[in-house]
Structure 1
Amino acid sequence: MNISILTAQGFSALARGDYEIAASNARRVLEQVPTDRAALTLLGRLALISQKPEGAIGYFLRVLEQPEQVAATWLDLAQAFTMLRDTSRALDSLEQALQIEPSNISALLAKGSLKLSLGEELEAARLFSEVLNADPQCLTALRGLCVLGKVVPASDITSRLERIGSNSANDIKARSDAQYALSLVYKKAKNKKLFIQHLFAANVLQRTLCSWDAEGFYRNTFARLDVALSSDKLVKSQFARPAEPSPIFILGMPRSGTTLVEQIIAAHQDVAAAGELDFMRGPLARAMEKKTGDQFPGGFEKLTSRELSELADLFTARIASIARDKKFVTDKTPGNYHILGLLPKLFPGCKVVHVRRDPVDTCFSILQQPFDDKSPHTCDINLLAMTYGHYRRQMEKWDALIGNQLLTVDYERLVTDTKKEAQRLFKFCGLEWRDDYLEFNRKSEVVQTFSALQVRQPIYKSSVGCWKQYEVELGQLRQALERELGKAI
């Protein structure tokens, strides 16, 4: 078959999620032309999707060995280095992209986002402003400046956001993002009325992007997992062999304090922070489905110890690339709580830290963030309350099953008695304590979550009970949570 046709079909397969077909087409092209740029790029991007950044780097470097270089390849390489938490080489790659195309918006945005994640606020603001000089309507840059607190009401940027957010001719995602950004502006300006107005407008728009109704959401998100990970199946199933480096899983509801806990633990010299890997329900889930022929995690109880070990090795290889010489690696994917019972089966001896926060504070914070995965509960008060209630019931179930490998940390206690709670964390994880570990916020680690700026600051308590400032506006949320939890808040 013609190489160009094979390549085009491969990229089409990548776009629709047919990764095996995409990889097959790329390899067929390389059999004929071992240096084909498009095929190497395709395999590199597939490696990124599979969370194999080392393999991706190999493919991209083969492309860059060729005389003609393009900015896109350096951008791909920067993404791979970012996944490895190799900030220096990620920034170097972005610089190379900008040398080829100084006004490349994708490179400027990526560099700005990376600087933001490192807490370099002035440089991040400069880069976002540079993007806006070229594209005044770029929502990523506009929101970046809002996150940095560089936008005030009645400014040119606020006017731009209001025009984007109110224009029905714009696509819903753009309008939603603009409303979220405006809510940030007015929250920082302490304009309670306009903060809530824009926040709820953003939630309404975001909800239209999520097609699941309440019944379908519950069935697909909770009911199926309850059956697949029943207590009987977990008790009867096999264990994988112990592996190194040892993972420390940090989980709970989003916006509950998982980033803070990870930064505290990763202050230790023997710990590397991997951030939100989302590996368990991504590459590992796809590999398990091949073995079981069932939707993840269904059928796991039929797997032998050897088969479970093969699956665990995929994750161990992923975190080993981040660990380098460290003994422990954290994975703070909050949603791992859904499959928590499976973690000790795959990683005997692993430690699991559950971070718990006031239910209204947690849910109110979730409503303020534009999650990209189109989860309906992140912008729907009733679904969010239902999700929170089920999460609490799941955690009670997991605690009864694997209590000795599970530690629950209350966010409120952590920020009010940080040293005592941090020492308890370190003891549970088998780490020696030093008082200087409390200076975790001074480390120049990448933080790629909504909490990137907060964790750069000393511990603060202002987020405890912050929902009470909006008690009237959050009445529906509070009542929905009280129904789910069966008690008054």
Structure 2
Amino acid sequence: MLTLSPADAKALHNLGLLIVREGSVTAGLACLRRALCLHPGAELFRRSWCEGLLASGQPDAALAAVATARARGLDGPAWQDLEQRARDAAGRYQGQAIPADRLATLRRLLEEGRCRAVVAAAQEVTARWPADPRGWTLLGAGLRTQGKAEAAATAFRAAVALEPAAAVGYANLGAVLRDVPQLHQALSSLDRALRIAPHEVQAWLNKGICLTALDDATAAVAALRVVLIQCPAWADAWMHYGVALGMLGRPRAAENAFRRALHAAPEADAPRRNLTVLLRAEGRSVEAAAVDRHTLCRRPSAAAAWVSLGITAADAGRLDAAEVAWRRAVRLDPEDAEAWYRLSTLSGGLADDWAAGAILDRLTEEAGRTSHDRMLAHFALARRLDSLDQPEEAIGHLKSAHRIRATMRGHPYDRAAAEARLDHLRRTVTRAFVAALAPSGDPSQTPILIVGMPRSGTTLVEQILASHSWVFGAGELPALGRLARHPVIAGVLDAAAQGAGPEGRSRINWAARSYLDTLKTVSGGSARVTDKMPHNYEHLWLAALLIPNATIINCVRDPVDTCLSCFFQPFGFGHAYADDLADLGHQYRLYQDYMRLWTRVLPIPIHTVVYEDLVREPEVQIPALLDACGLPFEPGCLSFHTTDRPIRTASMSQVRRRVYTSSVAKWHRYEAHLGPLLRALEAPAHGPGI
């Protein structure tokens, strides 16, 4: 933006604020000063100049700048507060301040990217002048750049303790706690910063990122809009805005945001990656590949783009092409953890690649690696060791991966909350409740809902059905879960105690239209459409009301095999139970409780497919599955592995093969290490009446 309009004062002002917060004080203050010179009458620019001086540890200069502003007639609570903070800071530094030349050296080293030198010099400075928060701030900045987030947080906490009225300290602490990640603590710190300085855009951005990670997409969108109003050309803000919009089920708006981010930063990997993920989810694999190839035309050595291109190929069933792309990525960057993990998911699991084993071992141990990279390296090693029949070593890496993932998630699996959700439905969704809302919903027979625990065969069942000429396989759609959480539908449950009536039926009819519109959009109007979101088993009460003529398929697999397979997966943070074997067992028992409840109270048939029977007798079980769905038999369903369609789940490579039974009873190899899971699965079912 500045290249096109070098005299754009607003852009200079916003860029200056960002650069100062990132630690490049000289460059940031130069931008702020230039903006002020272009528009000396702009109060906001002058106040930001003063705030920049104060944030950079120059309270005397800030006081002088405030005096100039007051002389120009600027006054009010904001200026009085700024002047008091500058005086307080100047008073604190007297007699215990770091010499100006030492501060200048530290800042120069930080701006030059010489992180080790910054940390060494800042440690010496904080030991000699421990009461000056500027030293601790610079130490924290150096440690954060080195990837040592927890040590950086300790340094920023010291700065905050010394200068509790400074927004920059809380903003820095919130940013690094986001990296750790300790998301709730990060939000608390960022909110503190914003109470002191409501226009602090970096704090708003980090708040939006934290809220997105905590699945509060609505609040994240609101926070990120604040950023974009002030900084409309900020690529990071557009990228995270797109992520939050995607979570809200607004793919067109999300795509626009990702493209705006790419326009602002054409070389950035994150917006490109998120755009290709969205395009693949929309079934637009050709466009996704085009985005990656466009990047590779400009930067052939962009390993991340090769990884993404491989994912697109794998989704489409071109596993050989996927392997070529991922091998290219690790040649370009031998320490690309995601590329190694993707390779580990292919047949063979890197069993014969001893060099990969050595690299992955190093990735799990090296300081400075991101938590995400170390987690993926552990998962890749576990898969490799599993293929080498070394269960003890494999389970060790899985436990390490899940410990990292649990720390990244920032909140534990809440068994009590999970049980409370089921208890609420048990009390509310009775036969009388369902009958009172009938007739309601839509009589459409289009939907086929495939539910069950993850890794229970849901992708295999969908692939078989999608091989039928009448059926479109839509994959894992979040639509039903979003409707179940929508205030309109939540109100139906809340009003159950007062009795259902016309208002409840009108809400159900609205939700039914919304759900069927989603199916029509993704399928192009196919006669039958599968929705294989496994956890829709929690929302079958709603499906029975919205689409009472839908087909429900419940996929069942040996409980221990199912849970062990889940333990091998780096699921999204929504699957908090997957990080602990005992929690996995607890979640499986809850799944069984849900299905017993629905079988008892819902007036819709539920067809059960047993994974072990399906893979042993496909010639018998596949015709029975088609019959349960009201579909005539087609021979193509028996050769489902040849069906050309995108698959975006962890089973993408398995369902491209003929039926195999090697995953049946696999858990016996790991039995000695599964005590917590086995005990949890043997525990009594939850709650009365189950």
TM-score normalised by length of structure 2: 0.61
Paired amino acid for 2:460? L
In 1: Cα distance, 2:380 partner to 2:663 partner: 20
Deviations 1:46-102 (A, max 9, x none): 5533334355557778999x9996777665553333122232232223323333443
Contact 1:139 1:177 in 2 (8 A): yes
Which structure 2 residue ranges, 5 or more long, are not aligned?
A: 1-9, 15-198
In 1: Cα distance, 2:260 partner to 2:445 partner: 30
2:397 to 192, 198, 212: 198
1:396 corresponds to: 596
1:273 corresponds to: 473
Taking the TM superposition and a 5 Å limit, the aligned residue runs for 1:271-350 are: 271-281=471-481, 283-285=482-484, 288-289=486-487, 291=488, 304-350=504-550
Deviations 1:25-46 (A, max 9, x none): 9999999999999998787655
Contact 2:442 2:512 in 1 (8 A): no
1:371 to 565, 571, 575: 571
Paired amino acid for 1:446? P
2:374 corresponds to: 175
In 1: Cα distance, 2:586 partner to 2:274 partner: 39
Paired amino acid for 1:367? F
RMSD over aligned Cα atoms: 3.9
In 2: Cα distance, 1:19 partner to 1:207 partner: 21
Contact 2:413 2:583 in 1 (8 A): no
In 2: Cα distance, 1:374 partner to 1:80 partner: 18
* Displacement of 1:299: 5.3
1:438 corresponds to: 638
The reply to whether residue 137 of structure 1 matches residue 335 of structure 2 is yes
Contact 1:78 1:91 in 2 (8 A): yes
* Displacement of 1:219: 4.3
Aligned residues: 480
* Displacement of 1:308: 2.0
2:325 corresponds to: 127
* Residues 46-55 or 18-27, more deviating: 18-27
1:111 to 302, 309, 312: 309
1:102 corresponds to: 300
Contact 1:207 1:379 in 2 (8 A): yes
* Displacement of 1:481: 1.6
Contact 1:84 1:321 in 2 (8 A): no
Structure having the higher Rg: 2
* Displacement of 1:256: 0.6
Helix, strand or coil for the counterpart of 1:280?
A: helix
* 1:435–1:472 CA distance, 2 compared to 1 (3 A): same
* 1:483–1:130 CA distance, 2 compared to 1 (3 A): same
Give the fraction of aligned pairs with identical amino acids, expressed as a percent. Answer: 27
* 1:188–1:41 CA distance, 2 compared to 1 (3 A): closer
Taking the TM superposition and a 5 Å limit, the aligned residue runs for 1:407-446 are: 407-446=607-646
Contact 2:233 2:264 in 1 (8 A): no
* 1:253–1:398 CA distance, 2 compared to 1 (3 A): same
Contact 2:217 2:248 in 1 (8 A): no
Paired amino acid for 1:435? P
The reply to whether residue 162 of structure 1 matches residue 361 of structure 2 is yes
The reply to whether residue 84 of structure 1 matches residue 282 of structure 2 is yes
* 1:325–1:390 CA distance, 2 compared to 1 (3 A): closer
1:259 corresponds to: 459
Contact 1:245 1:316 in 2 (8 A): no
Contact 2:451 2:535 in 1 (8 A): yes
2:561 to 342, 361, 364: 361
In 2: Cα distance, 1:232 partner to 1:69 partner: 58
In 1: Cα distance, 2:229 partner to 2:365 partner: 52
TM-score normalised by length of structure 1: 0.83
In 2: Cα distance, 1:468 partner to 1:183 partner: 17
* Displacement of 1:179: 1.9
In 2: Cα distance, 1:381 partner to 1:280 partner: 28
Helix, strand or coil for the counterpart of 1:362?
A: helix
In 2: Cα distance, 1:482 partner to 1:342 partner: 30
1:212 corresponds to: 412
Deviations 1:217-253 (A, max 9, x none): 5445544554454555444335543166822110011
* 1:221–1:267 CA distance, 2 compared to 1 (3 A): same
* Residues 214-223 or 359-368, more deviating: 214-223
Paired amino acid for 1:159? A
In 1: Cα distance, 2:318 partner to 2:607 partner: 33
* 1:101–1:308 CA distance, 2 compared to 1 (3 A): farther
Which structure 1 residue ranges, 5 or more long, are not aligned?
A: none
Helix, strand or coil for the counterpart of 1:122?
A: helix
* Displacement of 1:173: 4.4
* Residues 333-342 or 11-20, more deviating: 11-20
* Displacement of 1:382: 1.9
2:653 corresponds to: 453
Paired amino acid for 1:186? L
* Residues 149-158 or 15-24, more deviating: 15-24
Helix, strand or coil for the counterpart of 1:142?
A: helix
* Displacement of 1:185: 0.4
Deviations 1:146-198 (A, max 9, x none): 11236236722212221232457655544333222111001112223322332
* Displacement of 1:458: 0.3
Higher relative contact order (CA closer than 8 Å, sequence separation 6+): 1
Contact 1:214 1:383 in 2 (8 A): no
Paired amino acid for 2:606? L
Paired amino acid for 1:175? R
